[in-house]
Chains A and B, each alone.
Chain A
Amino acid sequence: DIQMTQSPSSLSASVGDRVTITCRASQGISNSLAWYQQKPGKAPKLLLYAASRLESGVPSRFSGSGSGTDYTLTISSLQPEDFASYYCQQYYLTPQYTFGQGTKLEIK
């Protein structure tokens, strides 16, 4: 299986801050990476796929980048509704899809 390691596991930030979350795969995944946002008590929501493609309806303050084994999710200016947990997921190795352990983004 491909292991996905996110950092940090938790993060405190303020409204308006620029935030970056990193996801590292145990082997190259050729941009086959999705990012999800999950709020407490809610289902995950797809934010980006193919490492950098924004899902329809997702605000443009969310962006993704990376290649090979290392990927990042950036929120350019945090809004109150962005405080949530974020998960990366590789879909390169079909069908053994794996998620990162999550990053909890909290209000400072």
Chain B
Amino acid sequence: EVQLVESGGVVVQPGGSLRLSCAASGFTFDDYTMHWVRQAPGKGLEWVSLISWDGGSTYYADSVKGRFTISRDNSKNSLYLQMNSLRTEDTALYYCAKDISAVASGYFDYWGQGTLVTVSS
């Protein structure tokens, strides 16, 4: 059974930093591109970032470019999102999501339950 379990979400002040983690199991992690997708409270879905199967390619939404860094450790079946210079508009539930292939196909067949990041003073 595929499982994605996010962690690391907390309340942080504007300008602060945070690292989210996603632990994957039930599939061959290094066979797939992975993504982060977020959802602000009561709002829709926003794609945030992706990383290729080997970590060699990373991409970001314009809204987080230069502030967030995605990474992965295939030896630990784990995905990460380093979030710096946080803004109030980054407040959201952050989902880890699995792409359907090793190269980014761009849609997601499994999602975690999300971890809540609240940016507030």
* Chain A interface helix/strand/loop/mixed: loop
Q: Once the chains bind, are B111 and A44 in contact (CB under 8 Å)?
A: yes
Q: Which residue of B lies closest to A85 (CB)?
A: B44
Which of B7-15, B23-31, B81-89, B101-109 faces chain A?
B101-109
Q: Does A20 contact B (CB under 8 A)?
A: no
Given A95-B50, A100-B44, A102-B44, A43:B95 Cβ within 8 A = yes
Cα-based distance from A96 to B59 in the complex (angstroms): 9
Residue A49, interface by CB 8 Å = yes
User: Does A96 lie within 8 Å of B112, measured CB to CB?
Assistant: no
Q: Report chain A residues within 8 Å CB of B44.
A: 87, 99-102
Q: Which residues of A contact B (CB under 8 A)?
A: 1, 32, 34, 36, 42-46, 49, 55, 87, 89, 91, 94-102
